[in-house]
Amino acid sequence: MSMSNSVLSPVRRLLLTKGATLGIATAFPSAFPILAKSALLNTQTLEHATMIEKQEMNFTTHDGARIAYRKDGKGPALVLVHGTGGDGESNFAALTALLSDDYTVIRPDYAGSGATVDDGRALTVSYLADQVLATMDALGVRKVHLLGFSLGAAIAAKIAADHPDRVVSLILLAGYASPDARLKLEFELWRDLIARDRHAMARLVLLTGFSPDALASWGVDGVASAVEETLAGADWDGMARQVDLDLRMDIQDILPRIEAPTLVTGCTHDHMVPPAHAKALAVAIRNARYAELPTGHLAPMEQPDLLANQVRAFLSGSSD
């Protein structure tokens, strides 16, 4: 996936000239370039996010893959695992800017995303979980707070279930255990559009990824620019591999084995993975807490400030 490490993107310039909020100005047109257009961030956070965007990528290897990752900040280790079609930068740049003063934020890109390169095999949750663990090992980090978003929630849950000694606390955001009939229909549509009409797929992701109010607030020009950046910046072949996993995935049997203190968060206006899936995760994990954010599916980009507050509040109750 392409990365933007230079000056303000055309979309960010456009939105700034339209008098958009500073949260809208934290657009990062990289990887799967869904932009952080609705968070009410201050100037210092915007500058911090821009600095993080420019930082150098790190790499490690595991099972023939060259795994890319980013490490920012100081304090207890917090690993952020991205979702389908995203990477650590596009999903979590704004959140990292908000948390890296107090946490060492580690953002791996698993296979099919970012600068990670592998042999192109069919993906499994175990294979991707091993790549996240390899990143932790490369940094010499034994125990972490672990946050997984969307497909990343399944990967994080797998790590927590299989390696309870390595997870201090677990946050599962907008996740699901296995596709029901509606999710299966959606993921099949994604698969078909990636193969046949990527422009339609870019529009669909924006339409279903953000809450109606957030998307409408960008204006016609902002939405059109975001569609074009998504179309140009996505790693469509990598995303197709991840969608294939979305269709096959089933982690229901591992959920009762999770021991770490767990927060499961759904998104009230989520039209990609409706919050009923997150509620089901919370029921299946012993002593898990459930919360909601008033956002669409792409909460880390739509309202990273609200998510950061929720993460801080939960982690403050977990030992380091």
What pTM was estimated for this model as a whole? Answer: 0.87
- Ranking 16-20, 66-70, 310-314 by mean pLDDT, the lowest is 16-20
CA–CA separation, 60 vs 34, rounded Å? 26
H-state helical runs in the chain = 10-17, 43-53, 88-99, 125-138, 151-162, 181-196, 198-209, 212-217, 219-233, 236-248, 275-284, 299-302, 304-315
Whether 100 is a known active-site residue: answer no
Residue 47 pLDDT class (50, 70, 90 cuts): low
Which of 118, 130, 270, 305 is labelled catalytic?
Answer: 270
Q: Which two tokens stand for residue 297?
A: 């599916």
Q: Which two tokens stand for residue 164?
A: 């309870």
115-141 residue pLDDT tens: 999 999 999 999 999 999 999 999 999
Between CA 255 and CA 261, with CA 259 as vertex, the angle to 5 degrees is 105
Q: Which burial class, exposed, middle or buried, applies to 191 when counting CB atoms under 10 A from its CB (0-12, 13-18, 19+)? A: middle
Query: What does the pLDDT read at residue 20?
Result: 31
Is 225 a catalytic site residue? no
pLDDT in tens, 139-168: 999 999 999 999 999 999 999 999 999 999
Buried b (16+ CB within 10 A) or exposed e, 68-107: bbbbbbeebbbbbbbbbbbbbbbbbbbbbbbbbeebbbbb
Query: Cα separation of 227 and 116, whole Å?
Result: 24
**Per-residue pLDDT at 18:** 35
pLDDT of residue 56: 75
62 is catalytic: no
Segment among 2-6, 29-33, 281-285, 301-305 with least mean pLDDT: 2-6
Give the model's pLDDT for residue 317.
84
Residues in a beta bridge with 290: 264
- Going from the C-alpha of 232 to that of each of 3, 197, 227, the distances in angstroms are 11, 13, 9
**Distance from C-alpha of 215 to C-alpha of 112, rounded to nearest angstrom:** 27
Q: Mean of the pLDDT values across residues 191-217?
A: 96
Task: Say which amino acid occupies 235.
Answer: D
Would the CA dihedral through 25, 29, 30, 35 be positive or negative?
Answer: positive
User: Three-class SS string for 125-182?
Assistant: HHHHHHHHHHHHHHCCCCCEEEEEECHHHHHHHHHHHHCHHHEEEEEEECCCCCCCHH
109-113, 219-223, 268-272, 295-299: the lowest-pLDDT one: 219-223
Q: Which of 150, 169, 211, 225 is catalytic?
A: 150
**Average pLDDT score over residue span 32-43:** 40
220: CB partners within 8 A, 6+ apart: none
**What's the average model confidence in pLDDT over 170-177?**
98
233-264: per-residue pLDDT in tens?
899 999 999 999 999 999 999 999 999 999 99
Question: Percent of the chain, pLDDT > 90?
Answer: 80
Specify burial of residue 222 (Cβ count, 10 A radius: 0-12, 13-18, 19+). Answer: buried
Distance between CA atoms of residues 60 and 110, nearest Å: 11
pLDDT at 30: 35
pLDDT of residue 172: 99
Task: Give strand pairing partners of 78.
Answer: 105, 145
Question: Above pLDDT 70, what percent of the chain?
Answer: 82
The C-alpha atoms of residue 196 and residue 193 are separated, in whole angstroms, by 5
Q: Give the pLDDT confidence of 94-114 residue by residue, as tens digits.
A: 999 999 999 999 999 999 999
